[in-house]
Amino acid sequence: MNPSDLLWFASALILLTNAATLAALAPASLYRRSLFEYAAGLGLCGLALLLLAFRDLLPQLPPTTVSNSLLALGVLTLAGAVLRVFGLAAGWRSLLSVIALIVLLQFLMPAGPSGEPFRYGLVLIAVLISVGVRIVVALRRHHREERGPVLLMCAVLGLNALLSAANLADLVIDPETALRTQRQGAVALAIALISVIAMITTMMVVNSRTHAAWRRQAERDDLTGALNRRAFFEQAALRLSDAEGHRIAMLDFDHFKQLNDRHGHRSGDAALQAGVGELLDLLDGHGMVGRLGGEEFAVLWPANGADADALRVALSRAASTAASVSTTASMGAIRHRPGESLEAALHRADQALYQAKAAGRDRCVEG
């Protein structure tokens, strides 16, 4: 095996080892599909380089066209996996455009020893740049703790594109010598080593998203998506420490036990889910809803935000539609006083709620 083949072989081992590692980690991850896809892409690229490494020792192996095709398919698979991990859809249009590019280059590029790798090299660069640009454009979607990994992934993609471009330039300048083949193998090894950084970066994002998902699961009520009691008290207390004013409300679905008894728990669950979901949509991240128990909820939102009764009416309407029966709610709302504890504010809101119930329910009393 000559030095260039050894470089191809080492590159293949790195990629296949990375693929095996990701495949082993995937089943226990919330992103198992993306990780399996990522592992498949690395495996295809590794297999392509393995075929190139043994092309002279085993003449019966398929020609380099098969290796290059596997490499192109592996890169496309990797691109889709990376985009999926970063919250972007690969899309059939992107895939079809790359396939069309391969077909077009097949007819436009000259034949010869350097023609085929040049064609696939152009495709590789196009895919890398496309993925990098899409990640950069979507950078604003990512949380602050993910900005570092996102930028690192963009740097990795850019470095791979530069190495691939240097390899293409080498093909034009020195198309057929053995020295050029060794340099090509060295570039492949460098890209394979960089792929380790890319894999680590991907796992950083996956772990960040997984921990965030577990945290949300621990903080949220499964049925309604509202914060559970503990999480609401913790987060609301932090929110009230801000200088800006807030409003706090206690909310109770009217005659909820009768709804369950007459129409079944499925209708009751639908009413809670739809009503609280509508409330969360109206708050649009500017407030929070906590399920304190059963059909009782606490709401906190900016004082200059939505009208309390408008929130209650919208919730009742959504709950009635989902349960297919008239469902109302009562609310007691107050404005938080500077320096007032959360417990004291909730007590005042609870008193206002009792007044709403005593006045006939299906209304909001503001204290």
For 195-218, the pLDDT digits (tens) are 888 888 888 888 877 877 787 778
Answer yes or no: do 310 and 193 share one domain.
no
Answer yes or no: do 36 and 120 share one domain.
yes
Domain that holds residue 162: 3-219
Answer yes or no: do 15 and 146 share one domain.
yes
Query: Within a domain: residue 17?
Result: yes
Answer yes or no: do 124 and 210 share one domain.
yes
CB-based contacts of 119: which residues, under 8 Å, 6+ apart?
A: 102, 105, 106, 109
pLDDT band, very low/low/confident/very high, at 301 (cuts 50, 70, 90): very high
Q: Which of 219, 237, 259 is the last residue of a domain?
A: 219
pLDDT band, very low/low/confident/very high, at 254 (cuts 50, 70, 90): very high
pLDDT band, very low/low/confident/very high, at 113 (cuts 50, 70, 90): very low
Q: Which of 185, 219, 253 is the last residue of a domain?
A: 219
Answer yes or no: do 208 and 338 share one domain.
no
Residue 242 has pLDDT above 60, yes or no: yes
Answer yes or no: do 274 and 191 share one domain.
no
Answer yes or no: do 12 and 127 share one domain.
yes
- How many domains, the chain? 2
In the chain, what percentage of residues exceed pLDDT 70? Answer: 73
Full-model pTM: 0.60
Match 């997984």 to its residue by tokens: 210
Query: Within a domain: residue 90?
Result: yes
Alpha helices (H) along the chain: 3-25, 32-53, 64-85, 92-108, 115-137, 144-173, 178-219, 229-240, 256-263, 265-283, 308-323, 342-358
Residue 157, class by beta-carbon neighbours within 10 Å (0-12 exposed, 13-18 middle, 19+ buried)?
Answer: buried
Answer yes or no: do 298 and 162 share one domain.
no
Q: Which of 161, 186, 219 is the last residue of a domain?
A: 219
Looking up residue 64, the CATH number of its domain turns out to be 1.20.1070.10
Answer yes or no: do 190 and 43 share one domain.
yes
Q: What is the pLDDT of residue 236?
A: 92
Q: What is the pLDDT of residue 268?
A: 93
- In angstroms, the CA 367 to CA 363 distance is 13
Answer yes or no: do 145 and 280 share one domain.
no
Query: Within a domain: residue 267?
Result: yes
Query: Within a domain: residue 224?
Result: no
Answer yes or no: do 269 and 156 share one domain.
no
Answer yes or no: do 103 and 196 share one domain.
yes
